[in-house]
Structure 1
Amino acid sequence: MSDQAHLTIVSDKNAGTHAQVLSSKYDVAGPRYTSYPTAPHFSVDFGCNEYRQELIKQRGSSIAPLSLYVHIPFCKNICYYCACNKIVTRDSTVSRRYLNYLNKEIAMQAELAGQARPVTQLHFGGGTPTFLNDAELTELMHHLGQHFKLSDSPDREYSIEIDPRTVNKDRLALLKGLGFNRLSFGVQDFDPEVQTAINRCQSFNMLLSLTNAARLYQFKSVSYDLIYGLPKQNLQSLTNTLEQVLELAPDRITFYNYAHLPARFSSQRAIDRHTLPSTGQRLEMLALIADVLTTAGYVYIGMDHFVKPNDELAIAQQEGRLQRNFQGYSTCLAPDLIGLGVSSISSLRHSYAQNEKDLERYYEQLDNNRLAISRGLRLSHDDEVRRHIISELICNLNLDIKQVEQHFQLCFFEYFANILETLKTYQKDGLILMESDKIRVTLEGRSMLRNICMTFDRYLSSDAQPRYSNTL
């Protein structure tokens, strides 16, 4: 790499002081807003019967597209940082039983949702979806195709999360043949010491080989998921990781903030908290990430996401039509997302529903010929107002106040009179620009998007926030 392209840590004392002030002010616990209201506010009062009624009510009048999410909970190895719903096992036969139940749920959900609706978005997550062997992956896609109308449009988004240690070039070829056109590799960090500290060792050459194969097979997009704030991570090690990421040049990069919640996630107890970067160091890391990636030409679309300027997500954001759900940012979001598998969440136009988190309870519900819904929520008018506002800010970094007033028949500055002073503080701190008919998120405000959205969240209270990770 040339001296000109070599990455350096830029030190600006004034900017650093301002960043430290913001970090102390805004580093609080808060949601990531993959939904609003967020999952902790779902209730057992909304169960299987309520979910069925919602889908049946929509089925007769809707031929709108569908999104599908399929959760595969199994992993062969434990990654200490992980906060996903997972089951760590070396027993490869557990997937056979799981597939049998998943196939049953697929048939039941398809009957309710409507089998003629095209599936424009499909995402396999986990756990490790590639815990399934080639025959099982093929069977699952075949079963989905039997019961849902899987799209063959080049505009579809069919993605799968991949632990690089579980695939080779031949498996990537199989995934392309099964219809997937987007891959998301879990990279986390390239530094060997950091990888050892989180029990996730994988080489740069492994990612190089898989990324080259993905391009050879003409996957539409290759994404890397990374994490900052990990144990043993520092600015220099992160700089080295960023150099290697840029050498591989993925289409999309997601840099999540590590949430250390050992009381909730037992695997995180293996991490020595004394090796974790401080809040100030994490903010410096985020500033470094944003500076390096934007200087390299990536667009910072917000909420930890960076994409190449010609990427569909960047174009959609410029045009004000970017969308977001539990699967992340999207350009072809369907009005209804059907979650399949243990712990998965369905998002309908006016409600949310989550499956049982416990695997045996999930099996038991399906044995009784019931969908495995354990809890959910039907949105109120106020929920829909606030969901729209939070979505616009997260996705398009811009809120059209007049459009909100016309669509929901309200006066914005009266409806949100209690938060106007907070919004003025955000403007003073340089996070937003507030006009009579617009709220725009600034470049600096993109790092504080969760905080800005929290202002519109009526569910938050001081005793509820500890269930979330810190925003910075």
Structure 2
Amino acid sequence: MATELIWDLELIKRYDQTGPRYTSYPTALQFSDNFGVAAYHAAAADSATARRPLSLYFHIPFCARVCYYCGCNKVVTKRREHAEPYLQTLFHEIEMQSALMGHNQTVEQLHWGGGTPTFLNPTQMQALMDKTAKHFNLVSGDFGDYSIELDPREADWSTIGHLRSLGFNRISIGVQDFNPTVQQAVNRVQSEEETRDVIDAARALTFKSINIDLIYGLPFQSCASFMETVDKVIEIRPDRLSVFNYAHMPNRFMPQRRINSEDLPSPQEKLTILENTITRLLDAGYVYIGMDHFALPDDDLALAQEGGTLHRNFQGYTTHSQCDLIGMGVSSISRVGNVYAQNHANMEEYASRVNNGKLAIRRGLLMNEDDRIRSAVINQLICHFRLDIKPIEETFGIHFQDYFADALKKLSTMAADGLIRMDSQSIVVEPRGRLLIRNICMQFDVYQQVAEVQRFSRVI
């Protein structure tokens, strides 16, 4: 099976370094403040002319409480009225972005992330969806993938019913860990009952897919305690699972300074947690998609991987590779054609620009031909654990062995270690190399430099 894994501890320890997660290539570190917004306008015009389908992302940054592990762009406040001026600004941005695109472009994918999107009250949620529908061509009847991130502490059956009426058919729920001691240490006290209640509501209301997020490496976690959480999640049986490695970087993320590093599990314990989690999930029938993600065999992600159509973008793994991604809201990232563009991460600057009739784009990147070639290679490897060389050569008019001579030399060591198998026709990631896919992709990353490694999390 393409999803077979071999846990080789010696190799994992040898290759465990920091590196990008490749939700984009080039990564966001390469975005330039000198980016010309005209390039985004030109890309949007091309998208409209070609009538390419769209994926819309809306960043709702508000949280009533701070989770100490979180590194997201957020505004922590209990004052719900603070969302209103932000929504009005977001409405202006919707108008400006839609004016650049063609109304005939179908929105196949839509996602509200955060923050906590359900910080918004039902009237505000309705207004945001109505505004979106007015300016973009939304689909009905569950033909699109419309998802939202949920904090069960901010949702009940009524909330789930309202989201379903708005057109959402997928939910992603942050659990992290059910253990009360761990929850208290990271200020995320969330009962198992709250989580199950929201999932029961989603299933009763025929949501297409349920995703649960877990994090290993949090304070006071042990292999035994985390397996209790994993067993409970398996019993719940979500369609998809994400099991993330907690990256403790208090110098970058202020809330993490409230976590005592001495309370974190040791590197060896973290590896034991991951190994046992993988074993438990595979034994329960989940498919390893890659990069901490698992899915049931009949889930769209698993089917897309099997069919060779899986893609990766800023929302993670996706089945909508054909879509141009438009990110709206503070700090959001768009990819339209060969252009990346990111909004201001500062709330005041974001609002000022939009309310003065300008796109909030602060930085971005226009991909060159080399970027496009390397992006195609990395996407194939990270999504399918395999690269067929001939299609790359035909698409880009290159001789692969010559173009990637330096990368292939580096990969020869990985081949000798059993991580990959390669010849003139293909590169295949072996079962013992799949957990180290980020390392393999890094060999094709021309921007990867030692000076940047501290900006990334560890690969395991």
RMSD value over aligned CA atoms? 1.3
The equivalent position to 1:414 in structure 2, one of 390, 393, 402, is 402
Q: Is 2:334 aligned against 1:384?
A: no
Matched, 1:40 2:29: yes
The CA deviation string for residues 352-378 of structure 1, in whole angstroms up to 9 with x for no partner, is 000000000001101221000000000
- Which residue is equivalent to 2:149? 161
Who is 1:145 aligned against? 133
Counterpart secondary structure, 1:67: strand
DSSP-derived class of the 1:463 partner: helix
- The 8 Å contact of residues 334 and 342 in structure 2, kept in 1 or not, is answered as yes
TM-score (normalised: structure 1): 0.94
* Aligned-partner residue type, residue 383 of structure 1: D
Q: What residue ranges of structure 2 are gaps of 5+ in the alignment?
A: 1-5
Q: 1:47 to 1:356 in 2, by over 3 A?
A: farther
Distance 2:233 2:356 in 1: 48
Q: 1:23 & 1:267 partners in 2: Cα distance?
A: 30
AA aligned opposite 2:134: Q
Identity %: 48
User: Displacement, 1:153?
Assistant: 4.9
CA distance in 2, matches of 1:250, 1:58: 35
- Say whether residues 1:102 and 2:90 are aligned partners: yes
Which residue is 1:208 aligned to? 196
Contact residue 156 and residue 332 of structure 1 kept, 8 A: no
- Secondary structure at the aligned position of 2:250 is classed as coil
- 1:4 is aligned to none
Q: Does 1:439 align with 2:427?
A: yes
2:185 corresponds to which letter in structure 1?
Answer: A
Match of 1:11 in 2: none
Which residue of the partner structure matches residue 374 of structure 1? 362
Deviation at 1:422, TM superposition (A): 2.2
Residue 123 of structure 2 aligns to a residue whose secondary structure is helix
CA distance in 2, matches of 1:382, 1:295: 41
- 1:337 is aligned to 2:325: yes
Separation of aligned partners in 1, 2:133 and 2:47? 22
Per-residue CA deviation, residues 251-272 of structure 1 (Å, 9 max, x unaligned), is 1000011111111100000011
Q: Separation in 2 of the partners of 1:54 and 1:319? A: 29
For the Cα contact (< 8 Å) 1:385–1:408, is it kept in 2?
A: yes
Residue 317 of structure 1 aligns to which amino acid in structure 2? Q
Q: Unaligned regions of 5+ residues in structure 1, if any?
A: 1-14
| Aligned: 1:402 with 2:402 | no
Q: Structure 1 residue runs of 4+, over 6 Å off?
A: none
The answer for the alignment partner of 2:337 in structure 1 is: 349
Q: Deviations over 1:381-407 (max 9, x none)?
A: 000001001111111111111111111
Q: Distance in 2 between matches of 1:334 and 1:179?
A: 21
**Match of 1:464, SS?**
helix
* d(CA) in 1 for partners of 2:44, 2:303: 32
**TM-score (ref. length: structure 2):** 0.96
Deviation at 1:212, TM superposition (A): 1.2
Query: In the comparison of the two structures, how many residue pairs are matched?
Result: 455
**CA drift at 1:46:** 1.0
Q: Could you report, residue by residue, the CA deviation over 1:188-216 in whole angstroms, capped at 9, with x for unpaired residues?
A: 01111111111101111111111111110
Whether the 8 Å CA contact 1:81–1:198 is kept in 2: the answer is yes
1:60-75 paired onto structure 2 within 5 Å: 61-75=49-63
Aligned equivalent of 2:310: 322
User: 1: distance between equivalents of 2:144 and 2:419?
Assistant: 34
> Cα offset for 1:283?
2.1
Aligned equivalents of 2:46 and 2:393: distance in 1?
Answer: 27
Q: Is the 1:186–1:225 Cα contact (8 Å) retained in structure 2?
A: yes
C-alpha contact (below 8 Å) 1:47/1:373 kept by paired residues:
no
After superposition, give the CA deviation of every residue in 1:247-297 in whole Å (9 maximum; x if it has no partner).
111110000111111111000000111111232322222211111100100
CA distance in 1, matches of 2:404, 2:457: 26
Which structure 2 residues correspond to residues 73-472 of structure 1 after superposition, within 5 A? 73-472=61-460
